[in-house]
């Protein structure tokens, strides 16, 4: 089954058509910078441009950087506050005519990794950690998602963890990979002490640079990079839309 997956990030909105049976892109990824300010009108227009690029008229899955409950946006840490309370799936369908399902962006990436990637054979508790503009998390017990965890806001050094160890902080403060890796290690050790996971899967933009900071990680928990790298969110968004469609049949 082919579904258009869209991954909404703080710096870019990416899309591709996904074969949800095998978890692979069937087209090249298409990316447009996230509009600033990231208001509903501007972001939905950008999503429409991605849909138009693929000449798509079918089902859409969208990974969104917020807690999402019943298609309604509940938080807005890295997007405009006017998103809160909106039924985003309904708004996107109004603009495009395409049936749309939303899921938290890192939950989406985690779904892809649990189904097809680094967490495929995982047992126990797995935490997906995506370090990008902020830090997003996806918590799994076996293959079952516990949705909308916001563990980027776990307190660390008198601030939310994402304000200390997100990839955007590394870029802004011009930290070396080693210096940033030590910060990221502190953050992961904090999660480790709270949840005692069996596996960390590292996603987001830092996943493709794992070898540059992996030596800094002094964890009891195994930590591995996401196998789908930056495609995980797109694949997982499509997979979530497929699962939502099956549940409503």
Q: pLDDT digit string (tens) for 67-95?
A: 999 999 999 888 899 999 999 999 999 99
Q: What is the pTM of this model?
A: 0.93
Do 18 and 101 belong to one domain? yes
Q: Look at the block and give the residue holding tokens 């969110």.
A: 233
Q: Whose CA is closest to 232, among 124, 129, 133?
A: 129
Judge whether residue 248 has pLDDT over 80.
no
Cα→Cα distances 41→37, 104, 126, 157, 183, Å: 10, 19, 35, 36, 36
Do 150 and 169 belong to one domain? yes
Q: Give Cα 61 to chain centroid, integer Å.
A: 12
Neighbours of 178 (CB within 10 A): 11
Please state, in angstroms and rounded to a whole number, the distance separating the CA atoms of residues 4 and 221.
Answer: 34
Local confidence band at 249 (pLDDT 50, 70, 90 cut-offs): low
Give percent above pLDDT 90 in the chain.
90
Domain tally, the chain: 2
Report the pLDDT averaged over residues 198-205: 94
Report the pLDDT averaged over residues 224-241: 93
Judge whether residue 230 has pLDDT over 80.
no
In a domain, 172, yes or no: yes
* CB-based contact 109:119 (threshold 8 Å): no
φ, ψ for residue 123 (rounded to 5)? Answer: -125, 160
Judge whether residue 208 has pLDDT over 70.
yes
pLDDT at 205: 85
In a domain, 151, yes or no: yes
Expressed as residue numbers, the domain containing 83 is 2-107+231-247
DSSP for residue 87 = B
In a domain, 116, yes or no: no
């Amino acid at each position: 089954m082919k579904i258009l997956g869209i991954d909404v990030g703080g710096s870019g909105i990416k899309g591709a058509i996904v074969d949800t049976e095998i978890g692979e892109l069937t087209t090249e990824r298409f990316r447009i910078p996230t509009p600033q300010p990231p208001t509903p009108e501007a972001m939905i227009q950008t999503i429409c441009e991605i849909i138009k690029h693929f000449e798509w008229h079918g089902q859409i899955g969208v990974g969104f950087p917020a807690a999402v409950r019943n298609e309604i946006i509940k938080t807005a840490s890295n997007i405009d506050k006017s998103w809160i309370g909106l039924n985003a799936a309904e708004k996107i369908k109004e603009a495009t005519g395409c049936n749309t399902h939303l899921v938290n962006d890192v939950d989406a990436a985690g779904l892809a990794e649990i189904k097809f990637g680094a967490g495929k054979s995982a047992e126990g508790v797995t935490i997906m950690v995506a370090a990008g503009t902020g830090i997003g998390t996806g918590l799994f017990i076996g293959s079952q998602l516990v949705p909308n965890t916001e563990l980027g806001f776990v307190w660390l050094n008198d601030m939310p963890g994402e304000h200390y160890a997100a990839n955007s902080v590394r870029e802004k403060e011009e930290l070396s990979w080693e210096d940033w890796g030590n910060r990221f290690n502190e953050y992961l050790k904090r999660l480790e002490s709270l949840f005692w996971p069996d596996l960390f899967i590292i996603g987001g933009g830092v996943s493709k640079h794992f070898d540059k900071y992996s030596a800094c990680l002094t964890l009891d928990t195994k930590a591995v990079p996401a196998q789908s790298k930056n495609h995980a969110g797109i694949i997982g968004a499509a997979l979530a839309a497929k699962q939502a469609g099956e549940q409503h049949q």
